[in-house]
Amino acid sequence: MTVKNKLLKALILGAPASGKGTISSRIVKKYTVAHVSSGDKLRDHIEKQTDLGKEVKKYLNEGKLVPDDVMIKFMITELKKVDDKPWLLDGFPRTVGQANALWKVQPVDVVLNLVVPFEVIIDRVRNRWVHLASGRVYNIGFNTPKVEGKDDVTGEDLVQRPDDRPEAVQKRLEIYESVTRPVIDFYKEKGILKEFHGRTSDEIWPKVTSYLDPIFTKF
């Protein structure tokens, strides 16, 4: 597909820990596009103890979805802040209700869906460390931080996500199967979904660039 004379609006979908954040950061480095991650934004609110942060904390910690009304209002407001730029949305929408609400205010052009086997995912979350302020993410053995426990850019502490505990991961995967999978069908029916299969982000990345290169050069 080609998109001319307009700002690309793209989504990245995939199960928890399928590499949405990892692939998004590579997309942002290669193409001019703003990365908007619902999970990173919510974690930032929790860290800063805002009213929203206090409201959503228990959902994130337990691996449950934040209710649609809260999420839709929050993300539509966040997207308005970047509507003069091309954007890549990560983590939203996650329910068909959210997908419908987004489609009404901003139909999207491209949807990337990462398909990674579940056993690979379970292994990854055990070794994930994050820098909360930036959303930068590390994995011991894959992209190990230069100094153990410290962010490469700021030198600040890395933390493990509370929802990376095994019981919360299990919950997130169950919710993904039952509630988020229909979102994939929503975009399939619109004819704008492209799937990328692989066991590693390095295997998936060249497939993503082959797909995105012609789309971005048409701008």
Q: What residue ranges bind Mg ion (CB under 5 A)?
A: 20-21
Kindly determine how many residues on this chain lie close enough to bind ligand G5P according to the rule CB under 6 A: 36
| Separation between Cα atoms, residue 202 and residue 23, nearest integer Å | 9
Return the number of the residue (31 or 92) whose C-beta is nearest ligand G5P: 92
What are the Cα distances from residue 19, in Å, to 67, 85, 88, 125, 209? 24, 23, 14, 11, 15
Q: Of 26, 41, 126, 128, which one is the catalytic site residue?
A: 128
135 binds ligand G5P (CB under 6 A): no
Return the number of the residue (7 or 76) whose C-beta is nearest ligand G5P: 76
> Minimum distance between the CB of residue 216 and ligand G5P, rounded to whole angstroms?
21
Q: Which two tokens stand for residue 100?
A: 């419908």
Residue from 21, 36, 86, 158 touching ligand G5P (CB under 6 A): that is 21
39 binds ligand G5P (CB under 6 A): yes
Which amino acid does the sequence have at 150?
K
Contact by Cβ (8 Å): 204, 23: yes
Query: Does the annotation mark 43 as catalytic?
Result: no
Q: Where are the beta strands (DSSP E) in 45-173?
A: 87-90, 110-115, 128-130, 137-139
Q: Which stretch binds ligand G5P (CB under 6 A): 47-55, 58-66, 77-85, 99-107?
A: 58-66
142 binds ligand G5P (CB under 6 A): yes
Query: Does the annotation mark 165 as catalytic?
Result: no
| Separation between Cα atoms, residue 33 and residue 198, nearest integer Å | 24
Q: Could you give the 3-state DSSP secondary structure of residue 197?
A: strand
Query: Does the annotation mark 128 as catalytic?
Result: yes
User: For the chain, give me the number of helices (H) and strands (E)?
Assistant: 9, 7
Return the number of the residue (117 or 214) whose C-beta is nearest Mg ion: 117
